[in-house]
Structure 1
Amino acid sequence: MTAEPAAPAIEEVARIQSRTVRVLAAGQVLGGVSFGATVSLGALLAADLSGQESLSGFATASVTLGAALCAIPLARLAGARGRRFALTLGNVFALIGIAVVITAAAVRSFPLLLVGVVLIGAGNAGNLQSRFAATDLAAPARRGRDLGTVVWATTVGGVLGPLMITPGEILGGAIGMPPLTGAYLFSIVAQAAALALYLVALRPDPLVLAQRIERASTRVRAAGVDADRPVAARYAMFAVAASHVVMASVMAMTPVHLSHLAVGGPAGHGDHADPTAVTLLVGMTIALHVFGMYGASPLFGYLADRIGRVPTVLVGQGLLAVSLLVAAAWPDAQVAVVVALFLLGLGWSAATVAGSALLTESTPLALRPRRQGLSDTAMTASAAVGAVLAGLVLGAFGYGVLALFALVLVAATTLLSPLGRR
């Protein structure tokens, strides 16, 4: 039987980790291009193929469903076969999903469209794991920064993806693709490039190497074998999921609320506004929100390394609270809503980066993939439920009351924070 190779030196591990973070960041850019186009086009395709605008939300729900269903299986595959296997399998799911979506548009099948979007969501579950892959070999003092760097890379793809819609339609029309599917040409190229990148460049596999280092370091507890702190791990999962629900529920209802404000008030009464002005307002607000979500993640990663994971989670809760109070106090002021959405993104970023780092270091390496998959499942599934409930609250009570309802989760995350230190 061949002996297992010796664990690499600390300097070599640091070099491998630096390259791993660069590869994961590049993969996030490519995955963001693909996923950004899907989010932008899914609702339009759903409305077109179903013939009912009220069913357009099923596309977003299907993406979330796909991610929730596959987060735990992909995480367990990562634990057994390595991160590269799980990430590339996610790319394969996304490529198949894109092909199914294009076929659904060609044959005008709404159910088939939802199947394709679920598969794309499954691919996004793999993409979500990139932030955890960035921590497998990271030194404890740099976990937050490395995780934040990979999350930040999503900004690039998230901005480029929607920008590909118009040129994609032109190119798709020229080669006879169904309407509203041209941008998926770029998605196919991006997903295929990410697949090749992980297969070729994500070597050695960070999780497999971390497992080998742990086996070689069993006699030295400080060599990277973290103690199991299940209470802190559960708090980390709750903090990430609760912050995501707050962000997703308020963000999902903001375009609807802004469109009402643009035509004369919260109920949508008054003179009709210029549709271009409405889309510009909504687009600018969501762009600032997305920038808040991802653009500052390296800063919050640095903060989590410097002052601690739980204090940074609480910084995120403070930002979320200010955001929600602004939205509740001035729900009919467009400027206030824009500011609230930007702060909402910042709060989500701080809580997600610090909470993910806390989950990682509160869990032994052997249990990490399972708990990380559970965390992603809880995050995506609860956000889907939150978005549905947010629509009901918005319709019954208005945007300001929705913000106050969301404050309950912020308060719960803050009050439970001592659990994260146990």
Structure 2
Amino acid sequence: MTDQPTTTATRATSALFTGAALNSAVVATTSTVAALVTVDALGPAWGGVPGTAAVIGTGLGALLVTALTHRAGTRAALRLGYVASTLGAAVGAVAVPLANVVLLVGGMLLIGLGNAAAQLSRYAAAELVPARRRGFAIGLIVWAGTVGAVGGPLLLLPSARLAETLGRPALSGAFLLSVPAGLLAALVVSGLRTARRPRSTFRVPVRTIVRSPAGRDGLAVMVTGQVVMAAVMTSVPVQLHLHHHGLDVVGLVLAAHTLGMFVLSPVTGRLADRLGPVPVMVVGLVTLLTSTVVAASGALLPQAIGLFVLGYGWNLCFVGGSASLAVGLPVEQRADVEGSVEAVVWISAAAGTLTSTIVLALAGWPALTLAAGALVVVPGLLLLRDRQRTAPGTGAGARAASPAGATPRSSEGGRR
């Protein structure tokens, strides 16, 4: 653990929180509008393409941000990510009036790079506190998404009116507002003060990570949660748009979803600290399945409720899986492992994002949501198998063996 003085740690956490909140607003608003612009230009089956670009950008960005963190430190890495997000928003603001989907996809790819910086901020926050509080620290940074991801969609209609006042197309408003938001995020993290994270003398490949229950279970649950969430969330604006709902309704439904994703994150973090990551991940998978069954209804209210529950199911999987990695690894290996896992999670989610609107167009909304929910069976069986193999008294998940060749230090290990 990198144990910093309380004042320094508090300031660093505040900077991480603010940057993540601002960038979450950028992602939430631009991804929604980009899907609608693409549907209008190319048809419903293409609506997931910009979101897929953002997801791929996040996966690749996780590797780039991790590498830059080693070379130049956390502050420089996060700042560069948020600058990339700002440039992406500017590109999108140009692409929307032109109805240029190729340019729009390029802008979303850059916004994805910024999202990688925001996502990896949770691990930087975890390094500021003792091992017993890392779940809460991770949950706190994930909770930052509440500010932007809930507030962002609610600004869709006002931003559209502002754009029209400026003589621009209504859908360009989200990108116009995202430019100053991204710049402010970069400015905030420019004052960040964190210790340089030590680096392992060797890289930890993903195949090594999955040899341990903690790494394997955390990765499987995070990938599943991300794929299910991305598939449903990408499609819901298109589904509502095709049923002639306006931006105000789209914004409210997405706000309900993102509220579920982020608002209870500190509670989830506390649960991970107290109960361990495995119970949190199990509840997350059950919640994901329940949400897709509820959201499968074509009615607006069940969809909104299902999207809220889906958001919290994702939160449980995301925080639980992250806590498993943050507690169960030696400090010098965490950055490489966290970056690699983040890349796998987001690139895997690209498949769900890309295929979701195709499935929606071909099979309909109920088929899409129920198929997404069925994916939880795989990590559920994996958790059950690893739970049965774990000897009594050793704990589960985060307290299981670390990746092969790595021996966690006693001060960094699981709770007793």
Amino acid at match of 1:116: G
Amino acid at match of 1:373: G
Find the counterpart in structure 1 of residue 28 from structure 2: 36
CA contact (8 A) 1:36 1:160 kept: no
CA contact (8 A) 1:98 1:116 kept: yes
TM-score when scaled to structure 1?
0.79
TM-score when scaled to structure 2?
0.80
Amino acid at match of 1:384: A
Find the counterpart in structure 2 of residue 266 from structure 1: none
Q: Does 1:159 align with 2:154?
A: no
Map 1:218-257 → 2, pairs under 5 A: 231=212, 232-256=214-238
Find the counterpart in structure 2 of residue 128 from structure 1: 119
Indicate the SS of the match to 1:95: helix
Find the counterpart in structure 1 of residue 273 from structure 2: 305
2 CA distance for matches of 1:197 and 1:404? 41
Amino acid at match of 2:198: Q
2 CA distance for matches of 1:158 and 1:325? 24
CA contact (8 A) 1:233 1:363 kept: no
CA contact (8 A) 1:164 1:186 kept: no
Deviations 1:99-150 (A, max 9, x none): 3233334666432232222112212111211112111222111111111111
Find the counterpart in structure 2 of residue 265 from structure 1: none
- Higher mean alpha-carbon deviation, 289-298 vs 410-419, is at 410-419
Find the counterpart in structure 2 of residue 378 from structure 1: 344
Q: Does 1:349 align with 2:315?
A: yes
Map 1:39-188 → 2, pairs under 5 A: 39-47=31-39, 50=41, 54-105=45-96, 109-172=100-163, 180-188=171-179
Map 1:332-371 → 2, pairs under 5 A: 332=298, 334-371=300-337
1 CA distance for matches of 2:236 and 2:58? 23
Q: Relative to 1, partners in 2 of residues 1:40 and 1:312: Cα closer, same or farther, differing over 3 Å?
A: same
Find the counterpart in structure 1 of residue 5 from structure 2: 13
Query: CA shift at 1:282, angstroms?
Result: 4.5
Deviations 1:363-412 (A, max 9, x none): 22222222222222222222221234444544555544444433443222
Q: Relative to 1, partners in 2 of residues 1:323 and 1:33: Cα closer, same or farther, differing over 3 Å?
A: closer
CA contact (8 A) 2:55 2:350 kept: yes
CA contact (8 A) 1:152 1:297 kept: yes
For structure 1, the residue ranges without an aligned partner over 5 or more in a row are: 1-6, 215-227, 263-274
Out of 381, 386, 389, the residue aligned to residue 415 of structure 1 is 381
1 CA distance for matches of 2:256 and 2:159? 24
2 CA distance for matches of 1:255 and 1:97? 21
1 CA distance for matches of 2:99 and 2:232? 32
2 CA distance for matches of 1:181 and 1:237? 36
For structure 2, the residue ranges without an aligned partner over 5 or more in a row are: 201-208, 388-396, 402-416
CA contact (8 A) 1:285 1:338 kept: yes
Query: CA shift at 1:311, angstroms?
Result: 1.2
Amino acid at match of 2:281: V
Give identity over the alignment, percent. Answer: 34
1 CA distance for matches of 2:179 and 2:72? 25
Q: Relative to 1, partners in 2 of residues 1:395 and 1:104: Cα closer, same or farther, differing over 3 Å?
A: closer
CA contact (8 A) 1:79 1:370 kept: no
2 CA distance for matches of 1:41 and 1:35? 10
CA contact (8 A) 2:97 2:172 kept: no
